[in-house]
Structure 1
Amino acid sequence: MKDEYKKDLSWSGSNKKRINALSKSLQKNRRTDHIINDLHHDVFEKIDCLSCGNCCRTTGPMLLNKDIERLSRHLKVRENAFVETYLREDEDGDFVFKSMPCPFLQEDNYCSVYEHRPKACRAYPHTDQKGQLGIMHITRKNSRVCPAVSQIFQVLVELDS
């Protein structure tokens, strides 16, 4: 991971209280989706996910039945064999990878199943979606995993000052 990305994640870890306070003030702003979505696009013009891969090393996605079907078909294995080999049920009864990093993450941070990856991976870090207020607790956590989300919060904190 690039040093600048490590600094971003460190900033998020050091500024949890500021991020939490900002998140509360964003709850009152009807333009929160628009603001965060715009920042998402600005930040991802500069961030190279392949230079990081932290999400794939640390944050296991929830796999839906459709994800399991798609990945099993791609890997040419039966669904029950896929589940047995790669997945476990978490405390909520959802399927997640048995261990991290992701079994499909390659050394160069490329995903060996990229075209068939789970829906949660496709949507990560979720900052370009509608309904930001409803997932703000997830976005706050993601700021300590994803340098792009950290940069979004850095800009938001700066604008709020």
Structure 2
Amino acid sequence: MVQVQIDIEHYKQLAQQKQGEHRKFLAGLKKKAPKDLDKIVQQVHQEVFEEIDCTACANCCKSLGPLFTEADITRIAKHFRMKLPVFEDLYLKVDEDGDKVFQAMPCPFLGEDNLCSIYDVRPKACREFPHTDRKKIYQINHLTIKNTLTCPAAYLFVEKLKERL
């Protein structure tokens, strides 16, 4: 299969142009969500990821550092057979919010082929991104809007959800 590159800048511009529209739409869901919203969200999420191949983009891995939980650190350090402090010294820092994040981006585990070398043990934040399959999606409107600027799939998700509703 030939991999089609995703024009990240194009999607970012579209997302910037539609920020107000998306914000208004998602706020409307908070006020009056259809009864079967969770089901619709799952269907739209599914459709988007049949269309978008994350490995043709990997913008999240290049620009957004995940927050590391203690469970993430333990699991990944174990994967590398490293002691926790060694793993943390090598890869992590504590940010201004007191969260453990990568010292630098892009992700040190991202290969040139846009594949994750620790995919099976990747952080929870990476597994859940872009959070478009969440129940009660309206509870994370601010995050969804923010993610549309980084993730073409998040942008398409909001656009398709708007069409559906």
Q: Tell me the TM-score normalised to structure 2 length.
A: 0.89
For structure 2, the residue ranges without an aligned partner over 5 or more in a row are none
The farther-off stretch of 66-75 and 127-136 is 127-136
Distance apart, 1:44 and its partner CA: 0.5
CA distance in 2, matches of 1:2, 1:51: 5
The CA RMSD over aligned residues, in Å, is 1.7
Distance apart, 1:155 and its partner CA: 2.1
CA distance in 2, matches of 1:105, 1:3: 17
For structure 1, the residue ranges without an aligned partner over 5 or more in a row are none
Deviations 1:87-120 (A, max 9, x none): 1112221111111111101111001111110011
Indicate the residue corresponding to 2:17 in structure 1.
Answer: 14
Distance change in 2, residues 1:91/1:33 (3 Å): farther
Q: Would you say the 8 A contact 2:23–2:141 is kept in 1?
A: no
**Following superposition of structure 1 onto structure 2, how do residues 44-63 of structure 1 map, counting pairs within 5 Å?**
44-63=49-68
CA distance in 2, matches of 1:102, 1:3: 19
Q: Would you say the 8 A contact 2:75–2:121 is kept in 1?
A: yes
CA distance in 2, matches of 1:50, 1:120: 17
Of 89, 93, 97 in structure 2, the residue corresponding to residue 88 of structure 1 is 93
Distance apart, 1:79 and its partner CA: 0.4
Distance change in 2, residues 1:6/1:32 (3 Å): farther
Task: Supply the AA of the counterpart residue of 2:23.
Answer: N
Task: Supply the AA of the counterpart residue of 1:33.
Answer: D
Q: Tell me the TM-score normalised to structure 1 length.
A: 0.91
Distance change in 2, residues 1:99/1:4 (3 Å): closer
Indicate the residue corresponding to 1:145 in structure 2.
Answer: 150
Distance apart, 1:157 and its partner CA: 3.8
Q: Would you say the 8 A contact 2:8–2:59 is kept in 1?
A: no
1:78 maps onto 2:70 in alignment = no
User: How many equivalent pairs are there?
Assistant: 160
Distance apart, 1:55 and its partner CA: 0.6
Q: Would you say the 8 A contact 2:132–2:144 is kept in 1?
A: yes
CA distance in 2, matches of 1:131, 1:85: 37
